[in-house]
Structure 1
Amino acid sequence: MSEQHQSLAWQYADSDLANGSAKVIRTLIDHGYEAYWVGGCVRDEYMGRKVSDMDITTSALPEVTSTIFPKVIPTGIKHGTVTVIENGQPFEVTTYRVESGYEDHRHPTQVTFVRDVEEDLRRRDFTMNAMALGIDGAWVDPFGGRSDVDLQMIRCVGDARVRFREDALRMVRCIRFASVFGFAIAKDTWKGMLEVRDTLSWIAMERIRTEMDKMLAGPDPLRGLELIKKSGLYSKMKVPFPYVTDNPTIISAIPVVDTVQLDIRWALLIHGCGISSSEADKLLREWTFSNRRREVIMGLLSFQEAWFEQARGIDLAADRLLWINLVLKHGTDTAEAWILMQEGIQAVSKCLCNGVSLEQVRQWLEAMHIRSLKDLKLTGSELLQALNRRGGPWMGKVLQHLLVKSAAGFLPNDRDILIEEAKQVIEREEQ
């Protein structure tokens, strides 16, 4: 595998990215310093995976790097990292360093700059990430990273317990890599993880959730979930995930859903663990999901609960009205995502949605020419003027009545007809 990489031609990196980073390396070398590509970009190129960013390690001190290039951002200068802007692209350039004093099991309290690239590589997490590549195509691979990639093995650099104590997030990253790459975890690495897994409680949930996002969006999320469960890491997090497989069929549908539909995959995981929408709301907040993502997942769970509690499959007229009300409540995007969610479930279970086919609900959705109040040909102010009444709770109820009737096709979406219907609703209530 390595022979194809004995030149400067990057096969899996964008040419502008490769050329820009190469220019940074050449400039450092021309000024008398060592410089290499390092870490994930080197690993991904060797594996034949798309290279998305290119980090550089160098013997030059950060203050020196800052004087060599015209545009530099001091992103982490006390830890030796600056961001060099070359041809409009950012490149992280970090000085060779060793680290110590990880009191919070995440960040080093002391960073010491060194002159040897191998010393820098020694502090890194896994052998596949502890490789550097020179501008001349020469490899610096002191810990057998290429060999482990060939073996499809994730192995810590040195003592796994030390690596995981330094940064407890590495345990989740280990499982994420195993899941996404389809690699095995070396026995000593797995054993070390189990021995120090209690330290995971030090890690911020935002960082763990980011790793879980990458794992769930990968090609084999079920393997990652099984490893999270088998390792017990799910119960060691600052906010433990209540990973009890309540419905394995639902969880097995996760990889059926397209990888870009990450929040549908999350909804399936939460639903498959038997977590209700009300319980999920608190969990998602504590797991630092954004408001937008939380609303998407909560909408899917609420939609799921309402449909399976109320739909019967024996009265299609009643089920259609339920569907229309759910679409109006949660929105078209949620309804369409819910259908994708059911497609995943049906792919592994072959069951109908409480006796109603997906083809049927799709037809109902397509037939809804009105899907929100803004589609109604009657505004609140027009309603007040037409009825000569003051605003109040009644207005929202009447508008909702008109919306449902129009969306269901029971009432034309015509301003005059809507006003007449509103008058009749008011009269019936006042009788």
Structure 2
Amino acid sequence: MIEIPEYAAQVLQTLESNGFEAWCVGGCVRDSLLGRTPQDWDAATSALPEQVLELFGAQARPTGLRHGTVTVRSSGQSIEVTTFRTDGTYRDGRRPDSVTFTRSLREDLSRRDFTVNAMAADVRGTLCDPFGGRDDLRAGTLRCVGRAEDRLAEDALRILRGLRFCAVLGLSAEPETDRGLRSCRSLLNRIAAERVRAELDGLLCGPAAAQVLRAYPEVVGTVLPELLPMVGFDQRSRYHCYDVWEHTLHALENAPPDRLVRWAVLLHDAGKPRCFTQDERGGHFYGHPAVSARMADGIMERLRFDAASRQAVVTLVEWHDRDIPRTEKGVRRALMRLGETRLRQLLAVKRADNLGQAPEYRGRQTELDRGEEILEELLRENACFSLRDLAVNGRDLLALDFHGPELGAALERLLLAVVDGEAPNERAGLLKMAKLLKDAPDIRVIDRKYEQK
């Protein structure tokens, strides 16, 4: 039995009481069987879209009439109600050219991608499972409905969806589906970048992300070809017992499921194959953080990430190998440059990176622990690490006749003096220091003059 939330049950009951079949379908049923809370509930019905619109009146609006979908508001929630249908051909490898409405729930379920998504539940929680989705869930199996290659070729995005389900739900593709995921991978080039990005986001944050990437590098490499040179690339370094790809996957296994952290870990060593040199001491990758950062920037631009996410990941990749002294001054400076959120993410990237190295070189965990302790101490003390926290502001410096770029430069210099512990964050003292900036552009000189006063 599946427990249907009241708002969805009301919609099903209204449809049933008017002589129509009505079922909750797809992911909500799957997640309920797994004991997970569904993000949303979708319904399928024998009612035609026009009948749904008439039945629910002002509560309904057409959101996809071509495919039979009407969105119904119920108790402040929205539920998509779609007429039972069969799909025509998929000439573009993404959407059916046409749909045909049907009176059969089984026919509707038969067009779906995987058996675990081809289940339905009525208002009483009774399960309809014509393709064995519940048994596949119990066995941890991903299986296409029908012939795998046909189903995946219809809509190539299903390839990445399948990998995402494996990463998030811990499923493993059965042999025919596994072959289809691999053999149809070239079709992914037809898929819009935004849709690829969304599926990769979900995949990377899944508990089994590393296992899926390990099993399907050639599939993921179809949309992220920059990763393929990492696979099997021997680092020839005493610090590493894994090749570049395996190191990355071990790091990923030790990264928190933060979307930006996971992307940064995935890409942090992407530039290593391009930077490899070797001498009598072994392999080296001089300059690889900068190269990896440029590659990350290009990948994220191609996948049309928003600017903030793109900049965040590029910064984390660029900084991943940079030493941050485990001192109050060192952490203050990092806070000034990165801010609290980004610094916490960077420490997570560094921790994961270190845990992907050879066991004898994983001792940096203690150093990272100390860095986090100092960070927490500074935050408890409300330490000044940004212009927002500085005891003086732009208006104060305008009153001292600072203008344009020199005003911003002066504020930055005052902030640096406070961050480095060379001046207290006190308004009167900072104003005196600011007056000296007119004559002494070097902050160190200013500090000495200030001390002499």
Residue 227 of structure 2 is aligned with which of 233, 239, 242?
242
1:422–1:182 Cα change, 3 Å: same
1:181 and 2:169 matched: yes
Determine the structure 2 residue equivalent to 1:38.
25
Instruction: Report the residue type matching 2:227 in the other structure.
Output: P
Classify the secondary structure of the residue corresponding to 2:216. Answer: helix
| TM value normalised by structure 2 | 0.81
| TM value normalised by structure 1 | 0.85
Aligned pairs for 1:105-184 within 5 A: 105-184=93-172
CA deviations on 1:198-251 (whole Å, 9 max, x unpaired) are 11111112112111111222212111222330xx222323x6453425364354
- Structure 2 unmatched runs, 5+: 232-243, 272-290, 446-453
CA deviations on 1:306-361 (whole Å, 9 max, x unpaired) are x24xx6x6xx7xx7655433321222221122223333344554545699554146
Determine the structure 2 residue equivalent to 1:271.
268
Q: Are the equivalent residues in 2 in contact too, given 1:179–1:218 (CA < 8 A)? A: yes
CA deviations on 1:163-210 (whole Å, 9 max, x unpaired) are 111110001111111222222211111222222221111111211211
Counterparts of 1:208 and 1:31, CA distance in 2:
41
1:50 and 2:62 matched: no
Counterparts of 1:74 and 1:416, CA distance in 2:
64
Counterparts of 1:356 and 1:154, CA distance in 2:
42
Determine the structure 1 residue equivalent to 2:386.
372
1:294 and 2:291 matched: no
Counterparts of 1:399 and 1:51, CA distance in 2:
49
Instruction: Report the residue type matching 1:327 in the other structure.
Output: L
- Structure 1 unmatched runs, 5+: 11-16
- Kindly report the root-mean-square deviation, in angstroms, between the aligned alpha carbons of the 2 structures: 2.7
Classify the secondary structure of the residue corresponding to 2:184. Answer: helix
Using the TM superposition, give the Cα deviation of residue 139 of structure 1 relative to its aligned residue in structure 2, in angstroms.
3.3
Counterparts of 1:332 and 1:48, CA distance in 2:
35
Q: Are the equivalent residues in 2 in contact too, given 1:352–1:358 (CA < 8 A)? A: no
Counterparts of 1:139 and 1:332, CA distance in 2:
48
Aligned pairs for 1:2-401 within 5 A: 5=1, 10=3, 18-70=5-57, 71-229=59-217, 232-237=218-223, 240-243=225-228, 244-245=230-231, 246=244, 248-259=246-257, 261-274=258-271, 276-305=292-321, 307-308=322-323, 321=329, 323-349=331-357, 351=362, 357-360=368-371, 362-363=373-374, 366-367=377-378, 369-386=383-400, 388=401, 391-401=403-413
Counterparts of 1:201 and 1:250, CA distance in 2:
25
1:364–1:199 Cα change, 3 Å: closer
1:365–1:58 Cα change, 3 Å: closer
Counterparts of 2:111 and 2:226, CA distance in 1:
30
Using the TM superposition, give the Cα deviation of residue 395 of structure 1 relative to its aligned residue in structure 2, in angstroms.
3.2
Counterparts of 1:253 and 1:211, CA distance in 2:
21
Q: Are the equivalent residues in 2 in contact too, given 1:303–1:330 (CA < 8 A)? A: no
Using the TM superposition, give the Cα deviation of residue 151 of structure 1 relative to its aligned residue in structure 2, in angstroms.
2.5
| Aligned residues with identical type, % of pairs | 34
Using the TM superposition, give the Cα deviation of residue 95 of structure 1 relative to its aligned residue in structure 2, in angstroms.
0.6
Instruction: Report the residue type matching 1:302 in the other structure.
Output: E
Instruction: Report the residue type matching 2:155 in the other structure.
Output: D
Q: Are the equivalent residues in 2 in contact too, given 1:106–1:203 (CA < 8 A)? A: yes
Counterparts of 2:365 and 2:162, CA distance in 1:
40
1:250–1:201 Cα change, 3 Å: closer
1:399–1:20 Cα change, 3 Å: closer
Deviates further, 172-181 or 40-49: 40-49
Runs of 4 or more, structure 1, over 6 Å off, are: none
Classify the secondary structure of the residue corresponding to 1:427. Answer: coil
Using the TM superposition, give the Cα deviation of residue 292 of structure 1 relative to its aligned residue in structure 2, in angstroms.
2.5
Q: Are the equivalent residues in 1 in contact too, given 2:87–2:99 (CA < 8 A)? A: yes
Q: Are the equivalent residues in 1 in contact too, given 2:254–2:355 (CA < 8 A)? A: yes
Counterparts of 1:331 and 1:426, CA distance in 2:
29
Q: Are the equivalent residues in 1 in contact too, given 2:328–2:374 (CA < 8 A)? A: no
Classify the secondary structure of the residue corresponding to 1:331. Answer: helix
Q: Are the equivalent residues in 2 in contact too, given 1:234–1:241 (CA < 8 A)? A: no
Counterparts of 1:223 and 1:412, CA distance in 2:
51
Counterparts of 1:361 and 1:173, CA distance in 2:
36
Counterparts of 2:372 and 2:121, CA distance in 1:
55
1:418 and 2:426 matched: no
CA deviations on 1:268-317 (whole Å, 9 max, x unpaired) are 11104336223212221221222232232223223325x24xx6x6xx7x
Classify the secondary structure of the residue corresponding to 2:227. Answer: coil
Q: Are the equivalent residues in 1 in contact too, given 2:226–2:270 (CA < 8 A)? A: no
Determine the structure 2 residue equivalent to 1:403.
415
Q: Are the equivalent residues in 1 in contact too, given 2:347–2:368 (CA < 8 A)? A: no
